[in-house]
Amino acid sequence: MNTVKQGERLQKILSAYGVVSRRKAEALIVEGRVCINGSPATLGQSARVGVDEITVDGVLLTDLKEHVYIMLNKPRGYLTTVSDERDRRTVMELVASVGCRVYPIGRLDMYSEGLLLFTNDGDFANAVMHPSFEKPKTYIVKARGDLRKALKLLKEPIQIDEYTVQALNVELTQNNNDNGLFQISISEGRNRQIRKMCNACGLTVKSLKRISIGSLELGSLKSGQWRFLTKDEVLALG
């Protein structure tokens, strides 16, 4: 049985640990993202830190205290930046409920969507994004043009700006005349790289969505929503 007679309210505990504010903690509990000893918590429930196992998105509370690692399903229309001098919408608005200062790892341009990581751990951010660590990133691209011809070209080295890049893998998933879908994986992550590669091969990108980084997949996370990474996910990426 989860409920304990002595202890502190979950909202107060989560706030004290810097996970989220008390108000945001209530939302996490209602959404079923907070568990005590393996069972979903309920509003008003109390727990004892150090006695009860408290988890948020499967991550132990004690593991959330120093470093924070989250994933967001970024919608279109948001800038991947901490602030914008023109007061445009940024991804920071979507992760404001995390409860501590985090920053995005890498970028997705304003019109791209999908998996975006945030942390306050600089070493982890470097391990995820630096090309020498070879973390493949996979995208679903909806494009217009001669896809069969373009996909052959995408598998070859391509010069964009002053760099030579090459896809790790390209796979056609749907082709309807001059419109279709394909998946592409890259190990770099240069500014608007996928779009520039497609343009160089005669394609016009209509939508772009990142679905995985390394072994981490976007899964069923809804657009605009975020969650904490599990310890295993952090270890696999770092």
List the catalytic residue out of 52, 84, 87, 109. Answer: 109
Tell me if residue 109 is catalytic: yes
Query: Which alpha helices (DSSP H) does the chain contain, by range?
Result: 10-16, 22-30, 61-64, 122-129, 147-154, 193-200, 231-237
Please name the residues in contact with 18: beta carbons below 8 A apart, sequence gap of 6 or more.
64, 65, 99, 100
Q: What is the DSSP string of 129-166?
A: H-GGG---EEEEEEEES-HHHHHHHHTS-EEETTEEE-
Q: How far is it, in rounded angstroms, from Cα 217 to Cα 210?
A: 9
Which residues does the annotation mark as catalytic?
109
